[in-house]
Structure 1
């Protein structure tokens, strides 16, 4: 795990965790140049989450997949090396990478629920309809 990552690891899979940072899911959200920090509940237990940007893979909206993916940057690698030197950690370290999402839809979609948006237009000839 990268230094400075504070997440509930019991919710991580394969060293990665997807975090919902929608306004109704978190409190005190801070997106700075160095880290993403917020308060959230996991299984009803309040936790403070802190993730350095070096550990963030992407920030995207779950509804449509629009967002930004981040490439590794040398500046982050230098920060991690200096933090590791300061910690004097011994043994093998496993790198944990985090993915932050912005969206408030649940993980499962109910097909029976009505959609808020109309379906995307189909290909072919456009047609207009008079609605009274």
Structure 2
């Protein structure tokens, strides 16, 4: 049995630290064919995404990938980023966070066609999910223009059995 990478755990920890302290968590991503992001916002093969509570809908950060919906230019888009493509997770206000090595040789990165990437839906059985404003009926803001979260707007973790 192979050991699970620590990278997704650190990513979730930095995300939680950012939200607990009222910072806006951002995620820097190396774009490859398996990454599903709006290509018009990709610069030099990279994109920086606002993954705050107010900028995302249906955010799911598991051990394989980060998936959510976000608005870009007023249009809702599906975002899918394998953990191996994440370069950093950090607070936009002060730059504190963690940078990671991009590992494009991970099994989930090789030979996967974009059509084989799962649709973003409710989390599968046994996974944790971050509830979002869209699920509670609140309006989501544009991913690129979201303002820092207030302490009362923390995401909540729900374990699905």
Instruction: Give the shorter-chain TM-score range.
Output: 0.5 to 0.7
> Which residue is 2:105 aligned to?
77
Cα distance in 2 for residues equivalent to 1:60 and 1:18: 10
Aligned residues: 87
Cα distance in 2 for residues equivalent to 1:78 and 1:16: 19
Instruction: Map Cα deviations across residues 33-78 of structure 1 (whole Å, 9 max, x no partner).
Output: 11111110000001110010111100100111111111234xx514
Segments of 4+ moved more than 2 angstroms? 1-4, 80-84
5+ long unaligned stretches in structure 1 = 88-103, 107-132
Which structure 2 residues correspond to residues 38-117 of structure 1 after superposition, within 5 A?
38-73=68-103, 77-79=105-107, 80-83=109-112, 104-105=146-147
Provide the TM-score with structure 2 as the length reference: 0.48
Cα distance in 2 for residues equivalent to 1:44 and 1:54: 28
Cα distance in 1 for residues equivalent to 2:50 and 2:105: 26
Contact map agreement 2:59 2:67 (CA 8 A) in 1: yes
Cα distance in 2 for residues equivalent to 1:24 and 1:47: 15
Instruction: Map Cα deviations across residues 89-121 of structure 1 (whole Å, 9 max, x no partner).
Output: xxxxxxxxxxxxxxx558xxxxxxxxxxxxxxx
What is the aligned-residue RMSD (CA, Å)? 2.5
SS in structure 1 at match of 2:110? helix
Q: 1:21 to 1:65 in 2, by over 3 A?
A: same
5+ long unaligned stretches in structure 2 = 1-30, 117-145, 149-161
